[in-house]
Amino acid sequence: MAEINLVTVLFQLLPALISTLIYLIVFRSKRNRYVEAFLAILYIRAVFYFLWNIFFLITYTDLSSGLFELPPFASNEIGDALLLDFIFHFASALQDFLTWVMVAFFAVLFGMLVLAIKLALQDPIKRKFSNVIKRVIGREPETDGFSGFRDRIHNVEFDIPDKEPLNPEVISKAYSESWKDYLIIGLATLLPSIGLYMSSPPSFYAYGIIVFLTWIYRFGYPSSNRLAKGAGLTLGNRKIGDEMMRGVLGWFFRLNLLLSIGTILLSIVEVIGTPTTLEFVLTSYAIGFIIAFPPILFAIVVFPLVEDFAIRFYKRTFEALTQVRSKVSSIDIKATLSNYGYSVIVSGIGIAAYVGAIFAVTLHYSAESMMPLRIFPENVESSVANALSNPTTSVGFLNAVRWILLILLIPFCMILFLGVVGHFVRKRIGGEVEGFAIIGGLLLAIGTWLILPGLDYILNISVGHVIAPDIEFLSLRPTMAFPTEGDMIYRYLSEFLINVPLYIFGTMFVMHYLKSSDIYREKHNLDTTPLVNVHSSDVRDVVVMFVGGLIISVIGIAALSLVVPPGILEYLVMSVLGEIGDPNGLEFVFGEWTIEATGGSIFPIILEHNLIRTLLMLLIGPIFWSLILWLIAMRRQESDEKTNAIYSLFLVAFTVAAGLIVSFILLNGVFVLVHPWSPEAFIGLIVGILLCILFGGYFLIWIINKLRGTDGGWWFPPLLILFVLEYFVYDDQFTLIALIILPMIIAILYKVFYGNRPEVQQQDTLLLYIKFSLMSLAISEVLSTALTVGGLAMIKDNPILFWAGILPHFVIEIPAFLFIAAASLRIARDLSPSIMNEEFDSIPEKTRVLLTDGRVWRTYILGAFFLGLAALVETEVSGLVRGFVERLIFG
């Protein structure tokens, strides 16, 4: 019999625990209340959604029906199941976070209506019934003294305090001041909403939409009065914002409380004398209470964080509605049109990325399910729904879960994409956040809805009883609830009252957050940007290099094809590209091992190769020249001199020892090298072992010196060891050629082409050589990538199939790669003045600061994420796209 065991509880809490651990490691002493709010939602979800629904479904469902049984899982599939469970938790929490952000902003729209009604009716009603009011309260009712609605509108004023929404102290104060208000708002509407949760709508699809709309009304309307209070709304000498909030905490709360008590008493009176029915009613209310309570927690967690942003939107919306003429006359037409134009462009890119991602996920699912290749969701939905509801194999079930969870996650990623890109675009053109978010969010929501009508469903849930060798647990599994023929009205409500506001307000929140982050950083003299401050000139230069490399490779191969036979030319091109891009040394062994271990997947080796190359591109130039200059051009203390000399000697000795060991083993036949092992890989292994021992010894000495308070020259030995280790492990000739040979060529060409300039004539060639060496690996990587793409495009028989097989990951990998290259150029250019001014003593220290700069590592992590995504697309999707296009062309 299925039951909740300890493994079930741990697995449902594991995503939140892992996310918390990552947060503590990444942020350490720097708190981010927004991330903490997301973590709180993860925990609330784990308890009140995942664990509660598992308990509820196994308690109130006939277990003998076998409804929860899943096909047996193999041991190696448990990891996949846990990963998918993590995605389910993460995507659900992200959905909740953005949904409640939407509700907080939606309150502004309610606020405009409530404020208009108050200004239009309150004072006239007081005058109309002044005699009645006088009899009740014993005095004439106070009036505001304004002549009418328009007069009141024009005399409404705002008193919004200048606060920092991202300041931890401000956020703490916001929580302490507002949580009780939101708790009262939630409790006031808690019991009346229980009936909705326990009702029986025409379909589950309709039920889900009604619940969403209830959240918007239940919290949006009363929260609008909280925003009016926060905006310091005044009319004459009256603080009407405070009045509106007192009304919510007073008559609104009491009215809903009376309705709740009356509804419960009426239900009990109807079933008095029928114990079974009475028990059922009480149980229903208890269950309804548990289901209706978590939204209160979500509101308490999210609303205080969004309140300041929503208040700004409240003020801007009010001014846009009441000051149309003055607002239109003060518009900067150029900036506004640029803002709207870029919003259309970015949303167009977002639509393309959204649709492309959906196509890729669907194509992968159809291939994994042994179906004809399909790209539109409606072509596979019946298969997915059947695999989720009536799974026959664990593989088919996991494929279906993967598809539906990725489909769930993609829209929220697009909201974040639109907000982040919109922020950086807006910074350059100076447009308004609201205008960009409204246009971009509207187009993204409507465009994807029209292109992909097959995604018009909502998630339902069921429980899965997972049984694998040595482990057994329960897990919540998603299922699909499709709209029925009678749900047409709910489909439109879902799109225009939920999805469109979600995209608009989600984008607006992200842009406001990033804007406030910039202001906060600038005010408190923190890093001006969270990433390496890449300049537009850096991006332009790497793009020009890449495009130039493409053109040169195409022209060069086209010229060679005139004199070299096609077969020989293809062999030569593939040989050159293999030397540039294929793994060597121990990396080749790792690649062969991972291919065998993963059943043929090349994803691990592509990912590892991309991550290592981009890390070297970002940092190897400064590290290389810091080591050189530390040795030959710096004045050092005697203790540093001894430390570095000893470690340099040890490094040489250990490397020579590795060579002698390998020679002895191979010459005496102790080991016979077989594929994939080569002498280079074997020496890389031995060098790696010995240098890791040396590194460990250094680390121990460093700890001892730290305890003693002496740590002279601490950074030189580990960097030197890692530099040598990388060369031998990867048999990396490319990096040394890029660092040593290529700068000579670039420096000479620079002198030749720009030698007539006075500033160039005064520059020392050796200093130019060092300057270009700092950025030469980035230049080499960009040009070699261009050569690879251009070369392959020229020698392939069918260009359409070639581009079909490369574009899916190309559009992700190349921008990420060029961004890292641009960051590498920026780092090199920031160090170049010290080189040209012969300030060699400053280079090692600047490099040490660079290695501990959080912006550098955040830049690398961002690039690594997209490169990892590109590697995943390359191994799982690109080949399928090529096959799909080939089938369309050739049948």
Give the residue with greater pLDDT, 658 vs 67: 658
Of the given ranges (186-200, 230-244, 319-333, 694-708), which has the lowest mean pLDDT? 186-200
For residue 335, what pLDDT band results from cuts at 50, 70 and 90? confident
pLDDT for 718: 77
CB 141 within 8 A of CB 133: yes
pLDDT for 636: 56
Give tens-digit pLDDT for 360-377: 999 999 999 888 889 999
Interval 196-211 mean pLDDT: 81
Interval 822-840 mean pLDDT: 86
The whole-angstrom distance between residue 840's C-alpha and the CA centroid of its chain comes to 40
CB 418 within 8 A of CB 354: no
pLDDT for 270: 62
Task: Of 6-15, 439-448, 758-767, 821-830, give the range with the top mean pLDDT.
Answer: 439-448
In angstroms, the Cα distances linking 508 to 193, 702, 877 are 29, 49, 32
Interval 252-261 mean pLDDT: 69
Of the given ranges (8-22, 308-322, 451-465, 672-686), which has the lowest mean pLDDT? 672-686
CA–CA distance, 744 with 619 (Å, rounded to integer): 20
* 140 SS3 class: coil
pLDDT for 400: 94
For residue 186, what pLDDT band results from cuts at 50, 70 and 90? confident
In angstroms, the Cα distances linking 697 to 650, 692, 706, 715 are 11, 8, 14, 14
CA-nearest of 381, 397, 378 to 389 is 397
Interval 301-310 mean pLDDT: 92
For residue 12, what pLDDT band results from cuts at 50, 70 and 90? very high
pLDDT for residue 827 is more than 80: yes
CA–CA distance, 73 with 257 (Å, rounded to integer): 50
Query: Which residues, at least 6 apart from 722, have a Cβ–Cβ distance to it below 8 Å?
Result: 695
Tell me whether strands 471-481 and 156-157 are parallel, antiparallel or unpaired.
Answer: unpaired
pLDDT for 547: 92
* 637 SS3 class: coil
Give tens-digit pLDDT for 58-96: 887 665 555 577 888 988 888 889 999 999 999 999 999
Interval 726-741 mean pLDDT: 82
Of the given ranges (185-189, 257-261, 492-496, 722-726), which has the lowest mean pLDDT? 257-261
Considering the chain, what percentage of its residues have pLDDT values greater than 70? 90
Considering the chain, what percentage of its residues have pLDDT values greater than 90? 24
pLDDT for residue 273 is more than 60: no
Tell me what the pLDDT averaged over the chain comes to: 84
Q: What DSSP character marks residue 238? A: B
Query: Which residues, at least 6 apart from 763, have a Cβ–Cβ distance to it below 8 Å?
Result: 836
Q: Which residue is listed with tokens 């050189």?
A: 628
pLDDT for residue 197 is more than 80: no
For residue 306, what pLDDT band results from cuts at 50, 70 and 90? very high
Q: Is the CA virtual torsion 131, 134, 140, 141 positive or negative?
A: negative
CA-nearest of 455, 57, 114, 518 to 291 is 57
pLDDT for residue 271 is more than 60: no
CA-nearest of 673, 758, 690 to 724 is 690
Encode burial over 302-341: b for 16+ CB neighbours within 10 A, e otherwise. bbbbbbbbbbbbbbbbbeeeeeeeeeeeeeeeeeeebbbe
- With 0-12 CB in 10 A as exposed, 13-18 as middle and 19+ as buried, what is 495? middle
For residue 409, what pLDDT band results from cuts at 50, 70 and 90? very high
pLDDT for 722: 80
CA-nearest of 859, 780, 869, 774 to 819 is 859
Element (H, E) at 234: strand 234-235
pLDDT for 179: 86
Q: Which residue is listed with tokens 């520059």?
A: 763
Give tens-digit pLDDT for 612-639: 888 888 888 888 888 787 777 655 555 5
CA–CA distance, 233 with 378 (Å, rounded to integer): 50
Of the given ranges (168-177, 534-543, 710-719), which has the lowest mean pLDDT? 710-719
Of the given ranges (118-122, 668-672, 756-760), which has the lowest mean pLDDT? 668-672
Give the residue with greater pLDDT, 691 vs 108: 108
Query: Which residues, at least 6 apart from 745, have a Cβ–Cβ distance to it below 8 Å?
Result: none
pLDDT for 43: 96
Element (H, E) at 157: strand 156-157
Of the given ranges (252-261, 352-361, 580-589), which has the lowest mean pLDDT? 252-261
In angstroms, the Cα distances linking 868 to 862, 874, 881 are 10, 10, 19
pTM of the model: 0.86
Give tens-digit pLDDT for 689-723: 888 888 888 778 777 777 776 655 556 677 778 88
* DSSP letter string, 769-797: HHHHHHHHHHHHHHHHHHHHHHHHHHH-S
Give the residue with greater pLDDT, 329 vs 157: 157
- With 0-12 CB in 10 A as exposed, 13-18 as middle and 19+ as buried, what is 65? exposed
